């Protein structure tokens, strides 16, 4: 009986250690706002862009093809996928 109690206590302590080992408040505080900074940094492709005042151009045929592809995406009506999961309840 004593060995069984020791095993239960040991397993309980190990589970508590595993549960609380993932809760590091310090890690959260160190990385606070890091995803915002990374997203902002990654959006800046050309920091000297305001210095270039020349207008951008695009091939008309490529623009037309892209626009038609975009519009044709709305014409296709796709049915919803239905997934039925039988978990053992319901009809016999």
Q: How many angstroms from the chain centroid is the CA of residue 51? A: 35
Stated pTM of the model? 0.28
pLDDT of residue 92: 52
Per the prediction, the chain carries an average pLDDT of 79
In the chain, the N- to C-terminal Cα span, in Å, equals 45
pLDDT of residue 68: 92
- Degrees (nearest 5) of the Cα angle 73, 75, 76? 75
Q: What are the start-end ranges of the E strands in the chain?
A: none
Q: pLDDT of 8-46, one tens digit each?
A: 889 999 888 877 776 666 666 677 788 888 878 877 777
pLDDT of residue 12: 92
Q: pLDDT of 41-53, one tens digit each?
A: 877 777 787 788 8
């Amino acid at each position: 009986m004593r060995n069984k109690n020791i095993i239960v206590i040991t397993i309980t302590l190990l589970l508590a250690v595993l549960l609380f080992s993932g809760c590091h408040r310090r890690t959260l505080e160190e990385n606070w706002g890091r995803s915002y900074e990374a997203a902002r940094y990654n959006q800046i492709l050309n920091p000297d862009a305001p210095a270039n005042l020349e207008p951008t151009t695009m091939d008309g045929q490529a623009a037309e093809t892209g626009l038609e592809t975009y519009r044709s995406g709305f014409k296709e009506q796709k049915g919803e996928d239905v997934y039925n999961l039988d978990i053992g309840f319901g009809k016999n």
